[in-house]
């Protein structure tokens, strides 16, 4: 899978090779820091809205008072088992617009 890097402050026509390599290295570092712990199918990740646990299907937020680096596989399984089930998605009807 190719890795793309955003050029927020840089102009794509004027970027130097050195600057491009710096941005690429920073992106690789950020990707490496995303994964906190890996227990096979269960992973502890650092996401956009804070650390969470996932098994590929279900995501669970880690409580604020818990350090994500100290989570064990047993704790992760327990939190995933206690997670509430997702509700059904509501479907909107595509009827005619009502005139008032």
Q: How far apart are CA 100 and CA 98, in angstroms?
A: 6
- Tokens linked to 41: 């199918």
State the total domains in the chain. Answer: 1
- For residue 8, being part of any structural domain is answered with no
Query: 């600057």: which residue's tokens?
Result: 19
> In this predicted structure, what is the pLDDT of residue 4?
84
In-domain check, residue 77 = yes
In-domain check, residue 55:
yes
Is 56 a member of any domain? yes
The tens digit of pLDDT for each residue in 30-88 reads 888 888 888 889 999 988 888 999 988 889 998 888 888 888 989 989 988 888 777 66
Please name which of 53, 33, 57, 31 lies closest in space to residue 43, comparing C-alpha atoms.
53
Determine, yes or no, domain membership for 64.
yes
50 is in which domain, residue-wise?
35-82
- Verdict on whether the full-model pTM lies above 0.85: no
Q: Does residue 10 fall inside a structural domain?
A: no
The answer as to whether 3 is a domain residue is: no
Cα 29 from chain centre? 15
- Residue 35's nearest CA partner among 15, 52, 55 is 52
- Report the C-alpha gap between 53 and 59 in whole angstroms: 6
88 part of a folded domain: no
């Amino acid at each position: 899978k190719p890795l793309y890097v955003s050029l927020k402050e840089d102009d794509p026509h004027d970027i130097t090779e050195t600057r491009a390599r710096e941005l690429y290295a920073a992106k690789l570092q950020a990707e490496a820091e995303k994964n906190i712990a890996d227990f096979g199918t269960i992973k502890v990740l650092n996401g956009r809205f804070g650390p969470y646990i996932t098994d590929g299907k279900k995501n669970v937020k880690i409580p604020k008072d818990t350090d994500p680096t100290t989570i064990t596989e047993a704790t992760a399984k327990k939190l995933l088992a206690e997670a509430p089930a997702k509700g059904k998605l509501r479907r909107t009807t595509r009827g005619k617009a009502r005139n008032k």
